[in-house]
Homo-oligomer: A and B are copies of this chain.
Amino acid sequence: MPLIQYLSRIRFDWGAIDFLPEEIRRLGIHSPLLVSDSGIAAAGLVERLIDAAKPYRPVLYLDTVENPTEACLRECLQIWAGRGCDGIIALGGGSCLDLAKAVALVTSHDGEFASYDIQMGNSSAIGRVTPHIAIPTAAGTGAEIGRACVLKLSTGRKSAAVNLNLVADTVICDPQLTMTLPPRLTAATGIDALSHGLEAAISSSPNPPAKAIALDCVRRAGTWLLAAYENGSDKQARWEMMMAALMGGMCLQKGLGAAHAMATPLEEKGHHHGTLIGVLLPHAVRFNAASASAELGEIARLLSAGKEAEDLARWLSTLVEAVGLPTRLAELGFESGEFPRIASRSAESHLNLTNPRSAGPGDYLELLTAAL
C-alpha cells in the first residue's frame, strides 16, 4: 500500500542563501543558533552565511563532530539557554543537519534525546519541534529533507529519532556552497546521490512519484558527476549534482536496497559511506538484474550505458574508477573473514526489505566476496 509523503519547502538555486533572512522571518525566529563545524568555517561558508543572514545575527556553534555525539548536543543546549535562542540553522553535511534536528527536538520536548528512540518505539511521540532551516554544503546524502536524526549517546550506543516532524521547515540548496568541495568528496557524495536514485527506482515498494524522481536523479547524477569531479568550478555540473542529491533525498521514501544494506555494517570501520557504495553498487545491480530488468534497462538507456543491467553495472564500475574511488573492498582493508558477520547483518537490515530480489545471508556473502 503506497504511502506517499512530501513535506518540504525548498529554495533551490545560485544565491538561494540570500533568502535566509526572509525564511528566518517567516518562521518567526529572532535569535537563531547556527549549527556547523570547523571545516565548513575554514571553507569560508560560515562567513558567507553570517553575511547573508543580516540583519539577523546567528549565535555560532562550530564544534559539530562527524557522527555527532550527545556531548555536542549538550554544548548546543548550553549556548541555547545562555543566549536565548529560538530557532536553528544547520549548515554542513549530514552531521550538522542531524545535530540541528536533535537540538530542535530537545528544545521543544521534555526528556533526553534517547527517550525518543525509534528502536524503543518512542519516536512516534515526537510532535512539532523548534523551527529549523537546513542548508547542505555537499551534494550527496539528501539528508536536508530527511526525517531521521542519529546521535551517539554517552554510553557509546547510537540512537535514532525518526519522525516527519523532524523534517526541516525550510531547505536552502545553494550550489555555490559546494564549489569548494574537494574532488574526492565530490566523487564519494555524488556516487551516494546516484545510488539513492538507482536503488529507490528499482525498490520493491510502489510509489510512482518517487520513482519518477528517482529515475531523473540517477540520470542527472550519472550525466554530471564526472564533470563536477574533474572541474569543481563547472557551475552547471554543481547545480545538477546538488539537484540530483536533493531528488535522491526526496525518493528515499520509496526504500533502498542491497548496496545500502551492506554499506551500513561495513561503515563501522569508519569508511566514507559514498566510497563503500561506489564499490558495492555494481554488484547490487548484477544481483538484481533479473528482478528489475525493465528499470535497470531503462536506467542503462538513460545514461547511454547500453540496454541491460550488465551494461549498467560495467558502466558504473568505470565511473567509480574515473572519479578516483576504489572499486574493491580489499583496497579499503577488508578481509573475507569479516564477511559472514556482515552478510548476516545486511540480510537483517530494514534496507534489505525493499531490495527487488529477496536476499539472504548467503546471497550477501557472495556479493561481498565478489566485491572483495
Contacts and interface: CB of A to CB of B under 8 A. Distances in A.
Given A208-B243, A212-B212, A5 B9 contact: yes
A49 to B, nearest CB: 18
Given A209-B247, A212-B213, A212-B247, A6 B3 contact: no
A11 B3 CA distance: 5
Interface string A1-38: 11111111111110010000000000000000000000
Q: Kindly name the residue among A13, A212, A246, A250 whose own CB sees the greatest number of chain B CB atoms within 10 A.
A: A212
Contacts of A164: 9
Contacts of A1: 11-13, 16
A215 interface: yes
Interface in A207-230: 208-209, 211-213, 215-216, 220
Nearest to A9: B5
Given A1-B16, A212-B213, A212-B247, A7 B10 contact: no
B208 A212 contact: no
Nearest 3 CB-CB pairs, A to B? A6-B6, A212-B216, A4-B10
B10 A5 contact: yes
Interface of A: 1-13, 16, 164, 208-209, 211-213, 215-216, 220, 243, 246-247, 250
Contacts of A11: 1-3
Nearest to A5: B9
A254 to B, nearest CB: 13
B5 A12 contact: no
Contacts of A16: 1
Contact of A213 (B8, B12, B209, B246): B209
B8 A5 contact: yes
Contact of A9 (B3, B212, B247): B3
B7 A3 contact: no
Contacts of A2: 10-13
Contact of A216 (B6, B208, B243): B208
A312 to B, nearest CB: 19
Contact of A4 (B12, B209, B220): B12
A177 to B, nearest CB: 15
Q: Which of A3, A13, A209, A213 has the most CB of B within 10 A?
A: A209
A170 to B, nearest CB: 10
Given A4-B8, A212-B247, 10 more contacts: A1-B12, A2-B11, A3-B11, A4-B10, A4-B12, A5-B9, A208-B216, A208-B220, A208-B243, A209-B216
A5 B168 CA distance: 12
A137 to B, nearest CB: 19
A8 B6 CA distance: 5
Contact of A250 (B6, B8, B10, B247): B6
Contacts of A243: 208
Nearest to A171: B4
A290 to B, nearest CB: 23
Nearest to A247: B209
23 contacts: A1-B16, A2-B12, A2-B13, A3-B9, A3-B11, A3-B12, A4-B10, A5-B8, A5-B9, A5-B10, A6-B6, A6-B7, A6-B8, A7-B7, A7-B8, A208-B216, A208-B220, A208-B247, A209-B246, A209-B247, A212-B213, A212-B215, A212-B216
A211 B247 CA distance: 12
